[in-house]
């Protein structure tokens, strides 16, 4: 039964993409005051472990409440640990925060294309994350670190609201202590004993150590943050075709049938969520597109 | 050339009888609440013989003609979509069980439809649906199962309505492929009959069971001349030359504000459009909380919550929602599915309460195009 979903995606077979499958919550990690991570596993062997690509998402379903797209934040080399990190902001995510070990949640997916990590060998890789945007980038980070020698410099630039909003803090501190990795964190507002950077993440884009002519940037965060980060990247000379960003739109089906996630001529669920910047640059400056 | 036969009015009734004996539910145009709708018919007498329609922007009227013609009315308000891609469908049922829940996938026994008198524009729309729901990575189970069983009897148009522009969109007035049978109605020298083009083996087999005669070359030529006359009488035209490129360059055209001021975002155009396919998925939980039904229903991009993401909707202004809709029909659909999102049926013009006309709006953008 393993890899069933992946196989059927390709063969257009019996797998019905709109049917959710109950998975069991194996672990809940409260990351910050409003973000949390869920580790999910198959329920009684009734469903399967499936492979995924860093940057893909699943549709997660809270029984009787609703279903939403959430990026996978786990390690692609460990598909048996199905990990999602999200912020409790809406009806579904607020209910999700109440989940405990042993509870059930519906899963279908994975959907979307993911980060283009296979083609980045020898390049400097710059991760730029805003807020919860760090979650889908963490999967890519795991993969890059697992093959660290294949890349040039690896830089993570992360901006969040305040020091108490820092996601994956322990992991970030561990990464920051490595000699083969540059990690910079900035907050919009310094509170408490914060001694780090203060200001938007774009200030880091202009200073961080990478070679703009040999860099690929992976960007995920609020649209406005991505727009300004890209402006800075371009100012430093990173080419548009070397910038990738992950977009968000309303989604109902995940397979390009329901129409909700249209972004210009594309469907975020199947043509995205990761786009090469020059494919959609003209859409990012238009309001309400 | 395909094989063509001549059928009388009685033979058409035999055709319906024959279909019903094979357990087809026959769907055809009929009058309901002073408009033509597309729904179940029992016999040929249910068709709107002797009626004709007037369609203009925000205008729809039926009137009696005194002619025995079955197809003097143009297309119905609704297309075939209700039948092959139902406006409401239960996808799954879930029930609470111990600490978790179980999911039951809903499997329907697909109804077997014979679509009678479907217009060429609507047939073209079905090809677009096939592309979207059958030929992508994933197919839609409900549509696939219903579609495979469907028998199609198209009716070529010999009279366009005031809002028709299928000739501009290359999707009418003659059905070119995708049908089992294509009828052209002829009333000539006191004779009332149909020329039927046979498009499939199952249609041939069916035709063999009913009274018919070989169509004469003269009949075929006459039928074609009627269709050609219809082509010349289109109520509207749309210049599609370079239109996609022009629209892409004009996302920021100020003309969108003008039409946005008129648009009520009611969504009528999306409900009557035969190429609109958007849906939403909602869960309905019973009062005890122990049973859930997940229902997919038609949705409209004009609804505010359609584009809702955390922080608010992407398209809040009416101009943005109209722009999204028109851009989808005439530009982005091409890039998504290699075909236009418009078949020129003109329903959106007829049923818009603000009389917004897609052909006028597209040509206004062309006229006021920002050159880049």
A12 touches chain B (CB under 8 A): yes
Residue numbers in B near A255 (CB within 8 A): 136-138
Residue of A nearest to B307 (CA): A250
Nearest by CB to residue B278, choosing from A90, A255, A258, is A258
Residue numbers in B near A90 (CB within 8 A): 310
Residue numbers in B near A259 (CB within 8 A): 277-279, 299, 301
What's the pLDDT score for residue A14?
56
What's the pLDDT score for residue B362?
98
Nearest by CB to residue A64, choosing from B105, B292, B327, is B292
Residue of A nearest to B297 (CA): A258
Across the interface, whether the CB atoms of B281 and A249 are under 8 A apart is answered no
Work out whether strand B100-105 and strand B308-309 pair parallel, antiparallel, or are unpaired: unpaired
- Quote the minimal CA–CA distance from A64 to chain B in Å: 6
Across the interface, whether the CB atoms of B292 and A16 are under 8 A apart is answered no
Q: How many CB atoms lie under 10 A from the CB of residue A94? A: 14
Q: For chain B, what are the domain ranges? A: 4-232, 243-367
CATH says A117-246 is which class? alpha beta
Mutation target among A65, A252, A272, A279 for the B interface, most CBs of B within 10 A:
A252
Nearest by CB to residue A250, choosing from B96, B308, B316, is B308
Q: Please name the residue that has the structure tokens 């082509």.
A: B231
Triad B50, B52, B56: Cα angle to 5°: 175
Across the interface, whether the CB atoms of A89 and B310 are under 8 A apart is answered yes
Residue of A nearest to B309 (CA): A250
Across the interface, whether the CB atoms of B91 and A259 are under 8 A apart is answered no
Across the interface, whether the CB atoms of B289 and A64 are under 8 A apart is answered yes
What's the pLDDT score for residue A46?
62
Across the interface, whether the CB atoms of A20 and B309 are under 8 A apart is answered no
- Quote the minimal CA–CA distance from B54 to chain A in Å: 33
**Which contacts of B101-105 are long-range, i.e. CB under 8 A and separated by 24 or more positions?**
B101/A22, B101/A63, B101/A104, B101/A106, B101/B292, B102/A22, B103/A19, B103/A20, B103/A21, B103/A22, B103/A106, B105/A16, B105/A19
What's the pLDDT score for residue A49?
84
What's the pLDDT score for residue A214?
97
Q: Compute the average pLDDT of residues B31-53.
A: 96
- Higher-confidence residue: A126 or B106? A126
Contact A38, A14 (CB under 8 A): no
Residue numbers in A near B314 (CB within 8 A): 249-250, 288-289
Q: Compute the average pLDDT of residues B27-56.
A: 96
Across the interface, whether the CB atoms of A250 and B283 are under 8 A apart is answered no
Helix (H) or strand (E) holding A159: strand A154-160
Q: Is the backbone of residue A221 left (phi > 0), alpha (psi -120 to 50) or beta? A: left
Work out whether strand B113-118 and strand B151-155 pair parallel, antiparallel, or are unpaired: parallel
**Which contacts of A38-45 are long-range, i.e. CB under 8 A and separated by 24 or more positions?**
A38/A83, A38/A84, A38/A85, A38/A86, A38/A96, A38/A99, A38/A105, A39/A74, A39/A81, A39/A82, A39/A83, A40/A82, A40/A83, A40/A84, A40/A105, A40/A107, A41/A80, A41/A81, A41/A82, A43/A104, A43/B100
Across the interface, whether the CB atoms of B103 and A22 are under 8 A apart is answered yes
Across the interface, whether the CB atoms of A256 and B137 are under 8 A apart is answered yes
Work out whether strand A182-187 and strand A154-160 pair parallel, antiparallel, or are unpaired: parallel
Work out whether strand B213-214 and strand B4-8 pair parallel, antiparallel, or are unpaired: antiparallel
What's the pLDDT score for residue B98?
82
What's the pLDDT score for residue A224?
94
CATH says A4-111 is which class? mainly beta
- Whole-angstrom distance, CA of residue A228 vs CA of residue A213: 19
Across the interface, whether the CB atoms of A22 and B102 are under 8 A apart is answered yes
Residue numbers in A near B306 (CB within 8 A): 250, 260
Nearest by CB to residue B278, choosing from A103, A106, A259, is A259
pLDDT exceeds cutoff 70 at B1? no
Across the interface, whether the CB atoms of B332 and A264 are under 8 A apart is answered yes
What's the pLDDT score for residue B371?
65
Q: Angle between the B318-327 and B255-262 helix axes, to the nearest 10 degrees?
A: 110
Mean pLDDT by 10 residues, chain A (289 residues): 35 68 95 97 77 96 94 96 95 96 94 93 97 98 96 98 97 97 97 94 95 97 96 97 97 96 97 97 93
What's the pLDDT score for residue A6?
40
- Whole-angstrom distance, CA of residue B321 vs CA of residue B303: 8
CB pairs under 8 A between A and B: 129
Across the interface, whether the CB atoms of A259 and B92 are under 8 A apart is answered no
Residue numbers in B near A16 (CB within 8 A): 105, 141
pLDDT digits (tens, 9 = 90+) for A261-273: 999 999 999 999 9
Across the interface, whether the CB atoms of A288 and B336 are under 8 A apart is answered no
Nearest by CB to residue A66, choosing from B283, B301, B308, is B283
Q: Which of residues 210-229 of A touch B (CB under 8 A)?
A: none
pLDDT digits (tens, 9 = 90+) for A111-144: 999 999 988 999 999 999 999 999 999 999 999 9
Across the interface, whether the CB atoms of A90 and B299 are under 8 A apart is answered no
B254, burial (CB in 10 Å: exposed 0-12, middle 13-18, buried 19+): exposed
pLDDT digits (tens, 9 = 90+) for B209-268: 999 999 999 999 999 999 999 999 999 999 999 999 999 999 999 999 999 999 999 999
Mutation target among B100, B311, B330 for the A interface, most CBs of A within 10 A:
B100
What's the pLDDT score for residue B99?
78
The three-state secondary structure class of B281 is strand
Q: Compute the average pLDDT of residues B27-44.
A: 96
Mutation target among A18, A62, A89, A273 for the B interface, most CBs of B within 10 A:
A18
- Quote the minimal CA–CA distance from A110 to chain B in Å: 13
A100 touches chain B (CB under 8 A): no
Mutation target among A265, A270, A284 for the B interface, most CBs of B within 10 A:
A265
What's the pLDDT score for residue A7?
35
Residues in chain A: 289
């Amino acid at each position: 039964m393993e890899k069933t979903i992946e196989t059927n995606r390709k063969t257009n077979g019996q797998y019905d993409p709109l049917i959710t499958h109950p998975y069991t919550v194996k672990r809940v990690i409260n990351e910050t005051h409003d973000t949390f991570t869920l580790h999910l596993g198959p329920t009684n062997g009734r469903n399967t472990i499936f492979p995924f690509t860093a940057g893909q998402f699943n549709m997660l379903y809270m029984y009787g409440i609703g279903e939403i797209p959430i990026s996978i934040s786990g390690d692609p080399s460990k598909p048996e640990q199905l990990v999602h990190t999200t912020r409790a902001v809406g009806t579904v995510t607020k209910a999700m925060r109440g989940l405990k070990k042993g509870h059930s949640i519906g899963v279908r997916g994975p959907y979307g294309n993911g980060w283009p990590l296979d083609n980045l060998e020898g390049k400097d890789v710059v991760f730029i994350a805003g807020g919860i945007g760090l979650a889908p980038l963490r999967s890519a980070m795991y993969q890059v670190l697992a093959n660290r020698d294949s890349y040039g410099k690896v830089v993570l630039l992360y901006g969040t609201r305040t020091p108490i909003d820092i996601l994956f803090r322990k992991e970030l501190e561990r990464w920051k202590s490595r000699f083969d990795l540059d990690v910079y964190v900035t907050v919009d507002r310094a509170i408490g004993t914060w001694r780090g950077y203060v200001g938007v993440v774009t200030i880091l884009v202009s200073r961080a150590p990478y070679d703009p002519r040999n860099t690929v940037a992976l960007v995920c965060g609020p649209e406005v943050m991505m727009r300004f980060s890209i402006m800075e990247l371009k100012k430093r000379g990173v080419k548009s075709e070397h910038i990738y960003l992950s977009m968000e739109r309303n989604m109902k089906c995940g397979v390009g049938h329901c129409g909700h996630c249209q972004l210009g001529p594309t469907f975020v669920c199947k043509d995205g969520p990761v786009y090469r910047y020059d494919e959609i640059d003209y859409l990012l400056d238009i309001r309400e597109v | 050339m395909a094989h063509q036969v001549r059928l009388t009015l009685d033979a058409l009734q035999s055709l319906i009888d024959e279909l019903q004996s094979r357990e087809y539910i026959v769907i055809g145009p009929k009058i309901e609440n002073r408009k033509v709708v597309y729904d179940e018919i029992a016999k040929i007498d249910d068709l709107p013989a002797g009626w004709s329609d007037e369609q203009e922007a925000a205008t729809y009227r039926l009137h009696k003609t005194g002619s025995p013609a079955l197809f003097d009315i143009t297309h119905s308000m609704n297309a075939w979509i209700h039948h092959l891609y139902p406006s409401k469908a239960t996808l799954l049922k879930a029930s609470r069980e111990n600490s978790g829940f179980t999911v039951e996938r809903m499997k329907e026994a697909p109804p077997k439809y014979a679509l009678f008198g479907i217009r060429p524009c609507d047939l073209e729309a079905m090809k677009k649906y096939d592309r979207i729901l059958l030929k992508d990575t994933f197919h839609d189970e409900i549509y696939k199962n219903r579609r495979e069983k469907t028998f199609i009897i198209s009716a070529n148009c010999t009279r366009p309505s005031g809002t028709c522009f299928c000739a501009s969109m290359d999707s009418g007035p003659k059905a070119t492929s995708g049908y089992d049978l294509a009828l052209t109605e002829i009333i000539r020298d006191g004779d009332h009959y149909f020329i039927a083009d046979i498009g499939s083996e199952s249609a041939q087999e069916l035709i063999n069971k009913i009274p018919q005669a070989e169509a004469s070359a003269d009949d075929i030529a006459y039928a074609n001349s009627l269709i050609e006359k219809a082509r010349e009488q289109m109520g509207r035209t749309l210049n599609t030359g370079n239109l996609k490129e022009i629209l892409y360059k004009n996302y920021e055209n100020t003309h969108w504000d003008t039409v946005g001021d008129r648009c009520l975002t009611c969504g009528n155009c999306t409900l009557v459009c035969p190429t609109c396919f958007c849906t939403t998925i909602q869960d309905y939980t019973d009062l005890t909380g122990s049973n859930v039904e997940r229902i997919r229903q038609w949705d409209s991009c004009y609804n505010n919550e359609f584009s809702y993401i955390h922080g608010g909707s992407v398209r809040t202004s009416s101009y943005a929602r109209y722009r999204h809709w028109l851009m989808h029909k005439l530009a982005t659909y091409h890039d998504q599915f290699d075909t236009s999102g418009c078949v020129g049926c003109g329903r959106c013009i007829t049923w818009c309460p603000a009389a917004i006309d897609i052909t006028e709006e597209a040509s206004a953008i062309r006229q006021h195009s920002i050159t880049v």
